[in-house]
Structure 1
């Protein structure tokens, strides 16, 4: 019985030593959020103001930049406009070239139909995202520089990324 305990003790000690020297997998560092759930994102393009809302309460608000042609609803890929209407949070990209990004469900059926009438592709990949490594220089040159996305600072997208969940409605007004 004593040799069994010694054997277990020896194996446990060797396991502990092996674990100390083993490289630990690197996990991304993301902010966490434990407040009230965001039930809606409201975007006012003309005011350049984005609100994260829980029920009737605005939890956080941000200023932002838009696509390089900020006025009007996105009609097709390459027009530089940001969509207007009702969309939903549908994806998260922790490896975005713009720090972090949160996708919205553009194009919807209405957007596809409009682009089809124009004989064009509606485009896609409309996101809330940070500025990334070159973003601050772009913002200095022109506040509205994206292909149609909504851009905030890298620190702000970290908050937004933490606070949102898939399926949250996004209402974008002109």
Structure 2
């Protein structure tokens, strides 16, 4: 009887731990493109022409316009790809966007500035502190942690991402 009780406790403990894990698995259709519509605050995970998931999000603290230089608070616009993953991000989980590209670098250089970098899709800050309002990042795309678990599982490195105004 004692063995049975111990087994039940272990099964429940591992079951609860599994539910709280930030790493999910995904076995559905491949995400072939991420489409971000900044003005509508709409992110679409696409499989060819079919929308698999849709998310709302926050942007940089200066959300209107294309990112030009480091520190401008804007989110880049254009065609990029997912180029890295950070399971130990200071913003829960994150996936990197390949900004800056050659054109972004040239535009910033013409202004005598750095284009910046480290643009991600990410969850909430791990320290739970963030500025108030919808648009609080330094130029990234922010979703909830639950949404980020899905995105992290579904979107692979190399996936194209189009960021529209």
Q: What TM bracket, shorter-length normalisation?
A: 0.7 to 0.9
Determine if the alignment matches structure 1 residue 158 to structure 2 residue 145.
no
1:68-147 maps to which residues of 2 (within 5 A)? Answer: 68-135=61-128, 138=130, 141-147=132-138
Q: TM-score if structure 1 supplies the norm length?
A: 0.80
- Give the corresponding residue for 2:32: 39
* Structure whose alpha-carbon radius of gyration is higher: 1
Q: Which has the higher helix share?
A: 1
TM-score (norm 2): 0.85
Number of residue pairs matched?
Answer: 145
Deviations 1:7-35 (A, max 9, x none): xxxxxxxxxxxxxxxxxxxxx75100000
Secondary structure of the equivalent of 1:77? coil
Q: Please give the alpha-carbon distance, in whole angstroms, between the structure 2 residues aligned to 1:164 and 1:85.
A: 18
Alpha-carbon distance in structure 2 between the residues aligned to 1:133 and 1:90: 22
5+ residue gaps, structure 2: 1-20
Moved over 6 A (4+): none
What stretches of structure 1 of length at least 5 have no aligned partner? 1-27
